Amino acid sequence: MITSLIAEKLACARGDRRLFENLSFRVKAGQALAVEGANGAGKTSLLRLIAGFLSPAAGRLVVQDADGESDDAEERGKQIGWLGHQDGLKPQLTVAEQLAFWAALYRGTTNSAVLEQVGLQRQADLPCRYLSAGQKRRLALARLLVSQRPLWLLDEPFAALDTSGQALVAQLMALHCGQGGIIIAATHEPLGLGNESLKL
């Protein structure tokens, strides 16, 4: 289990443009960090950097756990639950098929309770092409739950969701932090977790 994620003087460059530099923060288990900033400030790039898709132009990212610390991107990736801009769903597959696929791929567990939790139990046998944007987002949240990863990276978690969906996200995030998980979310809206925020 991760005890904290530490960024030391991170810098990110896309092309020949520096998005940010000298960025340091520390998030402990059970805490959330909101990443705020104007469009194009580098919120998504920071999340992709933490996920290991991008490598930092300078500085390092360290994950601490009971066994010590590591700055290996590949190792860090295996701890990450990812909710990106896109929902990663196939229009031809049904809701239940998608969830079973991701659960098996992540060696997680799946049961009908997860679909009920995100309010999609009645859509279980519906192909994803018939889902609305908000329902797709809810399915992506269900995937995040079955992946059972301690470090959540959320990119605009409230996007496309109605009021009850947004309340659901807030509830799931509070639950995850309560269980000792870590959340880093790029957002324009308050997370409502008494969390710290980072301005890019």
Partner 1 sequence: MSPFFTLLARDIKLAARSGGSAFLALSFFALVATLVPLGVGADLRLLARVGGGVLWVGAVLAALLSLDRLFQGDFEDGSLDLIALSPLPLELTALAKMLAHWLSTGAALTLLSPLLALLFNLPPAATLTLFLSLLLGTPAVSAVGAIGASLTLSLKRGGLILPLIILPLLSPAVIFGAGAVSLTLDRLASGGALGLLAAFSAGAVLLSPFAAAASVRLNLGG
Q: How far apart are CA 119 and CA 135, in angstroms?
A: 9
CA distance linking residue 62 with residue 82, whole number of Å:
18
Region binding partner 1 by CB under 8 A among candidate stretches 95-103, 111-119, 168-176, 184-192: 95-103
Pairing of strands 32-36, 196-199: parallel
Query: Does residue 13 belong to the site contacting partner 1 (CB under 8 A)?
Result: no
Contacts with partner 1, 129-158, as mask; x by CB under 8 A: --------------x---------------
Among 30, 37, 59, 77, binds partner 1 (CB under 8 A): 77
Which tokens sit at 64? 């601490």
* Cβ within 8 Å of residue 163, ≥6 positions away: none
C-beta of 20 vs 102, nearer to partner 1: 102
How many angstroms separate the CA atoms of 95 and 126, rounded? 6
Of residues 102, 135, 141, 176, which one binds partner 1 by CB under 8 A? 102
Kindly list the residues in this chain that would bind partner 1 in the complex (CB under 8 A): 48, 51, 53-55, 77-78, 80, 82, 84-90, 92-93, 97, 101-102, 104-107, 143
